[in-house]
Amino acid sequence: MPENTERLDAIREELRHCRRCTLARERNRVVPGEGPHAVKVMFIGEGPGRNEDIQGKPFVGQAGKVLDELLAVAGLKREEVFVTNVVKCRPPGNRDPLPEELAACRNWLDEQIDLLNPEIIVTLGRFSMARFLDNARIGRVHGQAFELGGRKVITMYHPAAALHNPALKDTMLADFANLGSIINKLSPTPQELPATSDTAIPPEKKEEEPGPLEQLTLF
């Protein structure tokens, strides 16, 4: 664990000097992510927004307030989980991250996942979801859990979706309530999770049955 902590801290420092893509040209601060270095649950969003770019911390704007509310429904506190994004610098104007930007940040995220080794990864939004699931649509698989590489990957709407479409809020609250149920059933350590095939675990409550995924991919 001390070695993991040192490396996670080193990643934060290395990201300050990262120039792997053009996002580095316009950023104010890089946003590596934050949270304990020993967690059961890791949340991965899409990219920093304006407030995150200023403060260097993930989910500190209006979407962050929604995330905190959703975490409470799941029985979680921000300080208990690790929160990061698929890209560590703000895309100009909060536009979608480009393929080359996602590729440039991929190794950083890979290493964070390996070091933290969470039992559950919660994806927030379609770009984070696409990091793990090919050919999936967030509207069909939100709230679903998938066994991938010995851990659960749970796909959620991005918290900002509740700001743009308030009608989604109840659905998101229900999805996070189900997340809380899944967390309560966790084994003590990731190593004790049984080996399984890549199959979807249906949530306790869902709005519709998802169609078959064409392919599940590991990170």
Encode pLDDT of 5-34 as tens digits. 999 999 999 999 999 999 999 999 999 999
* 211 vs 50, residue with greater confidence: 50
Whether the predicted pLDDT of 75 surpasses 80 = yes
Q: What pLDDT score was predicted for residue 186?
A: 79
Encode pLDDT of 120-174 as tens digits. 999 999 999 999 998 899 999 999 999 998 999 999 999 999 999 999 999 999 9
Residue 185 banded pLDDT, cuts 50, 70, 90: confident
Amino acid in position 43? F
Q: What pLDDT score was predicted for residue 3?
A: 78
Q: What pLDDT score was predicted for residue 213?
A: 38
**CA–CA gap between residue 177 and residue 154 (Å, rounded):** 12
Structure tokens at 211: 């169609």
Domains identified in the chain and CATH numbers: 2-208 (3.40.470.10)
Instruction: Fill in the DSSP letter of residue 97.
Output: P
Q: By the 8 A CB rule, do 110 and 94 touch?
A: no
**CA–CA gap between residue 84 and residue 33 (Å, rounded):** 4
Q: By the 8 A CB rule, do 154 and 206 touch?
A: no
SS3 82: strand
Q: What pLDDT score was predicted for residue 1?
A: 66
C-alpha of 80 from chain center? 14
Structure tokens at 144: 């679903």
